[in-house]
Amino acid sequence: MERTLYLVTGADGHLGSAVLRELINRGQEVRALVLPGGRKEFPTQVHYYEGDVRRPETLNEFFTVERDVRIICIHTAGVVDITGRLSRKLYETNVGGTRNIIRMCQKHHVSRLVYTSSVHAIPENGRYDVIREITDFSIYRQVKGGYAKTKAMASLCVLRAAEKGLDAIVLHPSGIIGPYDREGNHLVQLIRDYLQGRLPACVDGTYDFVDVRDVAFGCVQAAEKGRSGECYILSNQRYSISELLDYIREYAGGPELSVLPLVVARLAAPFFGIYSKCRRQRPLFTSYSLHTLKSNSHFSHAKAAAELGYHPRDIRETVRDTVDWIQNKEG
């Protein structure tokens, strides 16, 4: 039987860590790429390599594998940014880094590339219309914010490589939430701040939130069952921020917070920034994140359900497990 080796980039990130857990549970052989000095969470089960997707010279050892091995690369490395700006680091990591991974896959004859993009890469098609997969990301100028534009541009790079012969798939997770985060995920920060009494108010907004473990499952299913050159949305369903806080309060207790209408929250965004800076926290309610909470988030994961066997769990389970993770890690 042909040996299969999984290469996972961004392995010390929230999604990358969950992908490692999913692969370990399936008994797969795994190599993990982390930034220099990055966290190596499973040292006895995973072979770790240090490198930076922005610097291709640091990736050769990670990709060098003996012949007669089926190599699958799951590329989760990236920068998430809710400021709305298109910074140099954001572009170089999300777009330049993905181009470097594509070149490495081509150079080292990788059997399949699974790229985790974002639903933000897909333009809205009306306030209430259902959003489904697209394959033309040359319209990246139509999406709002630097993060969304970089994810759309990177998706375009992957699909163009697929047209030229690379076996590659693009995945579009919605708002990722769930356990195992090491304080990088903004939605997990929302739960942490609420539990610690550091959330000043709630905003009246809604989005599609999905468990990181379900996205990790979708990544591995796409590696095994997905069709090359195709895109798959990995979403769940829409929840309001107040609903999320209600679920936390039902499970772990906590205060009821004032719910600010979005128009008020947008006016108050600079004050949220000052409040967060004074408390040495990252701001959660920025102009871009507030725009996201009023945007169309009616995503369909019907294609992933039909082709990948993808069925996301109830968000209440996600909230409970996230609360337990935070409290056990910090207790």
The percentage of residues in the chain with a pLDDT greater than 70, rounded to a whole number, is: 90
Determine the angle formed by the axes of helices 146-163 and 97-107, rounding to 10 degrees. 20
Q: Do the Cβ atoms of 53 and 9 come closer than 8 Å?
A: yes
When the pLDDT of each residue in the chain is averaged and rounded to a whole number, the result is 90
- CA-CA-CA-CA torsion sign (89, 198, 287, 13): positive
Q: How many CB atoms lie within 10 A of CB 159?
A: 22
Q: Which of 112-143 are b and which e, b meaning 16 or more Cβ less than 10 Å from the residue's Cβ?
A: bbbbbbbbbbbbeeeeeeebebbeebeebeeb
SS3 call for 181: coil
Confidence at residue 331, expressed as pLDDT on a 0 to 100 scale: 47
DSSP letter at 65? -
SS3 36: coil
How wide is the angle at C-alpha 2 spanned by C-alphas 7 and 111, nearest 5°?
A: 45
Q: What is residue 249's predicted lDDT score, i.e. its pLDDT? A: 95
Fold entry, domain 3-177+208-236 = Rossmann fold (3.40.50)
In angstroms, the CA 134 to CA 122 distance is 7
Question: What φ, ψ does residue 249 adopt, rounded to 5°?
Answer: -65, -40
Q: Which residues, listed in sequence order, are joined to residue 47 by a DSSP beta bridge?
A: 31
Close Cβ partners of 175 (under 8 Å, ≥ 6 residues apart): 187, 207, 208, 209, 210, 297
pLDDT at 106 exceeding the cut of 70: yes
CA atoms lying within 13 Å on the CB side of residue 13: 21
Per-residue pLDDT tens digits for 296-318: 899 999 999 999 999 999 999 99
Residue 149 has pLDDT above 70, yes or no: yes
CA distance to 50, 260, 299, per residue, from 77 (Å) = 13, 34, 23
Cα four-point dihedral sign 44, 47, 53, 56? positive
Can you give the pLDDT at residue 272? 56
From CA 145, how far away is CA 164, in angstroms rounded?
29
Min mean pLDDT across 119-123, 125-129, 184-188, 285-289 is at 285-289
Q: What is the pLDDT of residues 259-293, one digit of tens each?
A: 877 666 566 555 555 555 555 666 666 677 777 77
In whole angstroms, give the CA distance from residue 303 to residue 133: 8
